[in-house]
Structure formats: structure tokens, C-alpha cells
Chain A
Amino acid sequence: MKPEELKYAKTHEWVHVDSAEGGNGSMATVGISAFAVEALTDLVFLELPEIGKQVAAGDSLGEVESVKAVSDIYSPVTGEVVQVNEELPEALQWLGEDPYGRGWIAKIRLGDASALENLMDHTAYSKLCADEES
């Protein structure tokens, strides 16, 4: 997945709507951005959500722990968790090497696609990251 084509939450999660129409019932893939992985530094633990869990945008989707801190991963979308990247907790290096590909975290069936409108495009997100840097 190309970072330019994704949508982003302020809390540094990305989402890709997998089907073209993008309405309720479509699948979306969720992960955390390269900026977030860089800021967290060395990762030691990832807790994935349970399959079947209903989440609203902003709900906790899991936890990621680095040598610095434990951080929540917030769901950028509303819907049902239908698949998780089960290999990822044992291969945390993927989050650093390929955060928008092999480092995906969960696939969510959208319950309320309108929440997508609150997300940022890549340009707006890049600006947010630049502001946080300074």
C-alpha cells in the first residue's frame, strides 16, 4: 500500500478502504504510521484486538509497547474486527520495515463509513507530523 493513498487519524493510525465503493460493509485495513513507529523507538510487544470485537472510531484497538512506553492503538474507523495480523506480534520488525504492508494490524468491516470523513489525507497528515517534530 502506498502511504499517499491512505487516510490517517490524529493518533497516527492509517486506514485503507479495500473495496472501491467504500460504504458500510466494506473492508478496511488498519495499521500505524511510519512516524508513529519511529517515535515509539524499539518495540517489544504488541497486543492485537480480538476477532469479532466491535469498535467505534477512537476506541482502543490494542496496545503497543516499546522500551520507552506503552501506547494504545486507537481504531480510526467504526466497525467489526474480522481479521488480525497474527504473525505480527512475533515479527515486530515488520512495523519498522514495512508499516503500510506486512505491518498491517487488523481488517475491519466498516459499520459506519461516515467516520472516514474525519480522517486526514496524506498531505494533511504529513503536515501534522512536521508540526509535532518541531
Chain B
Amino acid sequence: MRNKHATQLIYELSQNGRKAVALPQVDVPERPVEELIPERFLAKKTLGLPQVAEPEIVRHYANLSTLNMSVDTHFYPLGSCTMKYNPKRNERLASLRGIVDVHPYQSERSLQGLLQIFFELQEMLGEISGLDAVSLQPAAGAHGELTALMVAAAYFRDLGEVRTTVLTPDSAHGTNPASARMCGFDTVTVKSTPAGFVDMEDLKSKLDDSVAVFMITNPNTLGLFERNVAEIADQVHARGGLIYLDGANMNAILGVTRPGDFGADMMHFNPHKTFSGPHGGGGPGAGPIAVTSKLGAFLPVPRVRREEAEGECSYCLDWDQPQSIGRVRSFFGNSGVLVRAYCYLRTHGPDGLREVSENAVLNANYLLSRVKHFLPVPQGDRCMHEFVASAAQCKNERGVSAMDLVKRLLDYGFHAPTVYFPLTVKEAVMIEPTETESKEMLDQFAETLFRVLEEPDDLLHEAPHTTQISRPDEVTAARKPMLRWNPSTEE
């Protein structure tokens, strides 16, 4: 039985005079604080920090942690996010002293191990992408998109070409047009066909010499491999544009095909998705990018380089790139998740990585083959690593929405799939099981989803029923967010 402490704010647990520290007796003469610090620097009011004893603090956070759904506790088929299991081995290796007890201002000489990891990771990402040059600096996938677009902008500036437009398909992740706008481009949307692929006629009508980049996700967000991707790339290249590959769905194609081979000029990886880094819990994510050789000179600095002299090899940070767009992140980027990605890649090796993708695709197709009988999947019978079902019929006939269905899954101990994305599918339910789930788990999930669809409408409208908070008021939370606690917030 959970108690209420778990959802109270720690400020609400505060009692005057309670504390969790015991300071030793002062062994110097005590003086009033006003004598030591000029009055203008002193706070006028107390800070109002919570006054809580240690057991209360520990119980508060321990209880809160039990309300969480995570890959360590639940099946988490959150489409587009690749919530695969995070091997504990990677956590242990990433905690080694030579990795955590170092400082970015140490000499390169004393950081050789870490630099070697980064260099080898650059090489491996280059090989997986089929592209020539890699930067590990960007701090997240969307940051990788922005960085790559800045590289593209620098490339066109260098050529003396004025290109103002970035094309994105209507099924694109919202970050694609957002990154393009942040980088100063206009965005134009390219339609999809009813089958879920880029509409070639629409692309042709929008492709002109003002197009700098076509940002494409492949497999796309419907979990389909864009069959025309090579032709798309040829057409964009023929007009002098570049192809950006959103690498969010790399889990489907590792070791099977390479973005560089199907025409991409630049891409990002999401190590926290594809390479099993934790999402958030183990520190921030990263969004390394890979580009073709003609764009390499514009990548951020520093990059890690290997030097060989007198049979000895060493690693150094290369700042000498006059055409570089400069830094996009302090120091080496978010190194923790990069080290975990490195461990993951080393553990699997080339053949193992291919198996990762084969099993991710197999698991998704198995689940698709079960789910499509009771929740239609508009874009066909086969998928890559994920598929998008639609609750539109259920919404029209019974008024039960995609949101109602997935909220009810929480009551059965499953994290909800992604809903209402991509926007091209009505009442979208986007399911990505990943390769780390067993057949038994996939069966349980499919059976539960089937059972939920049979449940009474009212039960579903009000779900979830077993969580401490059922449905927060999303509109008020978005329009009138209360971002800090103060005494007046309390009733």
C-alpha cells in the first residue's frame, strides 16, 4: 500500500525546526553575520527551504521512485523512442575511475584512455553510417540536427550559394522543422502517399534550387523503409541540395544498410535510443553526427584525432579546422552516454549489431501480426522496428480514443505507447517493442490490449485507475504552469 507522502511536495512535509544535519560546536569566536558580510549582500528574507528530517527525505524520494515506470520495471513500447533495456554492464564500465574521476582541464597526456574511446567511437559511428567524418559534441538528437544544418549552411556559404529552404515530410519528427527554423531556414512540408511514403510528385513540385536540405527519417516514423530513398537522394543531389537522415530509427537497419549508401550526406545518432544508453536517468543524452567528406571541414571543433609517431600512437584534440562552425557544446560533449554507447558497440560487434536490428524488426512484425486483428494498422502488413496502429474506428464508433486505450494499459503494468504521432495517422498508437523483449512479453501485451478494447467505455474514459494521479489537466498545465512552490501555492 502506497502512502500519500509519495505525491506530496517535500515543501509540504516541512515542519519548523526539523532538520537532517548535525553541525559540530563552533570552535572559533561567534560573530554576527552583519559584521562578516556587507549588509547589501544579505538576503532580506529567509529562503523558505523545506525543514525535514533524514528519514522523511529518504522515504519521500524512495516512495516517489516507486511511482515511476521505467525499462527496468515495465515493458515500455514507446514508439519512436527505442526504449530498449539498458545493460547494467555498461553502467559498471562507464563508472570506472578513468572515466568518471577525470577533469576536462587535465592534460591530454593523462586522458589517453578516454580519448581513445572517443576516437574509436567516431570511427565506429562512421562505419555504421557509411559516412566519413564524425562529431561527438551535440548534446541530444535535436541538437545534432541543428548542428548538421549549421554545417550545411556553412557549406553553402562556402560555395557562395544562397539556399533558404529545408524540406521535411509531413510524417517527420517535429524537431526537424524546428531545427531548420532555428538555423534560419524556411521549411516546406512534403506530403506522404496514403501508403505512408514520400509523395514523389509532391517532392518534385517543391524541389528547386532554393532547397538546401531534405530531412528524411528512414525507416520513417510509420515504421516503413522509404523504398524510393535512393531516387529521392538522386533528385535532391541533382538540384545541388543535401540529404539529412534523422537517425532516430537506426535500430531497424544497423549492419543491414547504411545511410551513406542510400544517399544521406549527414545524419545524427541517438545513443540513448539505438545504443542502449539510459534516457535521462544515467545523465544527459547525446546526438553525435556523421557527414560526408565534403562537409567534414565544417564540423564542430575539437575532434579527436589519432597520431602515430615512432611506432607509438596517441590521441589528441584537433582544434585546427579553420572552416569549422566552432564549438556547439562545452568540452567533449556528454561523455557518459557516449562511453555507454561505446561499451554497447564493443559488446555486440558488427554481427551482433546486425542481429539487434533483425530482432527489433522481427519483434515489431510479430506484435504487428497480433495487434492488427483488433486495432487496424493502416499502412500495411509489414513494418521495420515499429508500427502505427489507429484507434480511429474505435473513436468513431464508441467515442473511445487512442488516449483512453493507452491510459488503461498503465493499469495493467505496461507503459503507454506513443499516441497522436505521426500526425498523418488518425488516433495514432505507435508501438515499438525493441529487440530486448521476449515473445512471452509481446504476447502478454497483445492480449492485454485486446482485453482493454473489450472493456466498457466509461472505464476507459476514466483510466488509469491505479495510479496516484489519473489524468492531469494538460490544458491548465500548459497554459498556466505553476513552476515553483511558494507558501501562497499551499491551500
Contacts and interface: CB of A to CB of B under 8 A. Distances in A.
A133 B396 contact: yes
B423 A44 contact: no
A70 to B, nearest CB: 8
B474 interface: yes
A20 interface: no
Nearest to A65: B478
B420 interface: yes
B373 interface: no
A44 B478 contact: yes
Interface in A9-58: 42-45
A42 B475 contact: yes
A45 B479 contact: yes
Contacts of B479: 44-45
Contacts of A68: 420, 423
A124 interface: no
A69 interface: yes
A69 B420 contact: yes
Contacts of B174: 69-70
Interface string A103-134: 00000000000000000000000000000011
A67 B396 contact: no
Nearest to A89: B479
B173 to A, nearest CB: 12
B423 A69 contact: yes
Contacts of A70: 174
A44 B475 contact: yes
A67 B478 contact: yes
Nearest to B475: A42
Given A68-B420, A69-B423, A45 B478 contact: yes
B467 to A, nearest CB: 18
Nearest to A133: B396
Nearest to B478: A44
Contacts, number: 20
Interface in B118-160: none
Contacts of B474: 42, 44, 67
A133 to B, nearest CB: 6
A67 B396 CA distance: 20
Contacts of A44: 474-475, 478-479
A9 B290 CA distance: 43
A83 B475 CA distance: 27
A96 to B, nearest CB: 11
A118 B18 CA distance: 72
* Residue with the highest number of chain B CB atoms closer than 10 Å, among A43, A68, A70, A134: A68
Contacts of B475: 42-44, 67
A21 B478 CA distance: 44
Contacts of A45: 478-479
Contacts of A42: 474-475
Contacts of B420: 68-69
A120 to B, nearest CB: 20
Interface string B155-178: 000000000000000000010000
Contacts of A69: 174, 420, 423
Contacts of B396: 133-134
A68 B396 CA distance: 18
Interface in B375-405: 396
Nearest to B479: A44
B273 to A, nearest CB: 22
Nearest to A44: B478
Contacts of B478: 44-45, 67
B36 to A, nearest CB: 49
A69 B172 CA distance: 13
A53 B332 CA distance: 46
Nearest to A43: B475
Nearest to B428: A68
A89 to B, nearest CB: 10
A67 B420 CA distance: 10
Q: Which of B420, B423, B475 has the most CB of A within 10 A?
A: B475
A69 B425 CA distance: 13
Interface in B443-491: 474-475, 478-479
A39 to B, nearest CB: 8
A68 B421 CA distance: 8
Given A42-B475, A44-B478, 18 more contacts: A42-B474, A43-B475, A44-B474, A44-B475, A44-B479, A45-B478, A45-B479, A67-B474, A67-B475, A67-B478, A68-B420, A68-B423, A69-B174, A69-B420, A69-B423, A70-B174, A133-B396, A134-B396
Interface of A: 42-45, 67-70, 133-134
| 8 A-B pairs with least C-beta separation | A44-B478, A68-B420, A67-B474, A42-B475, A44-B479, A44-B475, A69-B423, A42-B474
16 contacts: A42-B474, A42-B475, A43-B475, A44-B475, A44-B478, A44-B479, A45-B478, A45-B479, A67-B474, A67-B475, A67-B478, A68-B420, A68-B423, A69-B420, A69-B423, A133-B396
